[in-house]
């Protein structure tokens, strides 16, 4: 188990305080406007707050557990997200061995490579080796109908839910001068900024949102909500510079980049859901949908954030 850095303790206390405040607000709103549970908006809000408590506790346990805890947590999240993704694909019986390999070989091996810090392989394992070798398993079964679609969906699923998501845990492997033992705070910085951006885009959209930014993909997203949420998250990121190896300006700039990528990730995953005719990827997390619904913003921002920090700060 890693030594718990004081900055991490301060951050966890801060998150707990925010959740306590949100819980009190949710309780007050329920007592006043929805004592019988009839107000769906308030009930959904409280479901989300309870889900955030669970996710915050799991993240805290993983952070305290060090690299092993983080790798296990995000490995599990990737497994659950990959399962959600594959339920919406055209996979057939002929893809059985490809699916087995994806879940029980590719996914655990990717996280094992991150656990042992083999950057030269985990950076190319899925986009190169799995991309070339996995289709062979399905091709050998001889089923050609929708073959290209089936393989493309499987490879997309692995890239999004495993390769991209695994870069969150990979942040622990970065060797930044003067930042030893604090890498878990990079994960916290990424998740806090991305998730706050999502929440603040929703809040600003409800307060001043007028113009739809992508009505066919996500009717609730507005130009005003997008601008307010991204700018607010950028300011929050700049304010969290103390827990990073960045200056205030650098932290704000990186927060802006990952907030923008998180927004784009949400749009892309919404496009896939609309194509499949579903509202959520799953119903595992009350008020939040499935695992991909919570990870969509993170998985698009994590690899870019990882490589920017690796290139400029290591």
- Angle at CA of residue 29, ends 25 and 34, nearest 5°: 150
Q: Do 262 and 284 share a structural domain?
A: yes
Among 140, 173, 206, give the residue marking a domain's end. 173
Q: Do 309 and 255 share a structural domain?
A: yes
Q: Domain residues for 79?
A: 68-173
pLDDT at 209: 80
* Count of the separate structural domains present in the chain: 3
Q: Do 58 and 164 share a structural domain?
A: no
Q: Do 11 and 40 share a structural domain?
A: yes
Residue 78 contacts residue 161 (beta carbons within 8 Å): yes
Distance CA(301)–CA(255), nearest Å, equals 10
Q: Do 72 and 60 share a structural domain?
A: no
Q: Do 141 and 12 share a structural domain?
A: no
- Alpha-carbon radius of gyration of the chain: 20
pLDDT of 69 over the 50 cut: yes
pLDDT at 147: 93
pLDDT tens readout for residues 221-254: 889 999 999 999 999 999 999 999 999 999 999 9
- Burial of residue 264 (CB within 10 Å: 0-12, 13-18, 19+) is middle
Q: Do 139 and 10 share a structural domain?
A: no
Q: Do 31 and 10 share a structural domain?
A: yes
Q: Do 255 and 197 share a structural domain?
A: yes
Q: Do 130 and 262 share a structural domain?
A: no
pLDDT at 220: 79
Q: Do 313 and 298 share a structural domain?
A: yes
Q: Do 160 and 42 share a structural domain?
A: no
């Amino acid at each position: 188990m890693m030594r718990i850095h004081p900055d991490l303790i301060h951050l966890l206390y801060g998150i707990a305080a925010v959740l306590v405040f949100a819980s009190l607000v949710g309780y007050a709103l329920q007592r006043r406007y929805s004592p019988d549970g009839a107000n769906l908006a308030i009930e959904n809000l409280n479901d989300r707050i309870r889900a955030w408590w669970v996710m915050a506790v799991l993240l805290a346990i993983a952070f305290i557990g060090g690299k092993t805890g983080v790798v296990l947590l995000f490995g599990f999240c990737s497994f659950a997200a990959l399962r959600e993704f594959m339920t919406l694909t055209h996979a057939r019986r002929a893809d059985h061995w490809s699916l087995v390999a994806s879940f029980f070989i590719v996914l655990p091996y990717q996280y094992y490579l991150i656990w042992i810090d083999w950057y030269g392989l985990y950076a190319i394992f899925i986009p190169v080796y799995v991309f070339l070798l996995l289709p062979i398993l399905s091709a050998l079964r001889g089923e050609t109908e929708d073959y290209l679609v089936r393989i493309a969906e499987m490879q997309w699923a692995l890239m999004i839910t495993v390769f991209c998501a695994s870069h969150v845990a990979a942040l622990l492997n970065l060797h930044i001068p003067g930042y030893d033992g604090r890498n878990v705070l990079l994960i916290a910085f990424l998740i806090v900024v991305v998730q706050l951006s999502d929440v603040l885009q929703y809040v600003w959209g409800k307060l001043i949102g007028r113009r739809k930014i992508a009505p066919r993909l996500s009717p609730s997203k507005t130009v005003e909500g997008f601008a307010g949420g991204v700018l607010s998250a950028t300011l929050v990121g700049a304010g969290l510079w103390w827990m990073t190896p960045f200056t205030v300006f650098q932290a704000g700039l990186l927060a802006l980049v990952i907030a923008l990528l998180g927004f784009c990730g949400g749009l892309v995953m919404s496009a896939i859901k609309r194509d499949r005719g579903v509202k959520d990827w799953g119903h595992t997390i009350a008020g939040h949908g499935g695992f991909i619904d919570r990870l969509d913003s993170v998985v698009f921002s994590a690899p870019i954030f990882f490589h920017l920090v690796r290139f400029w700060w290591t």
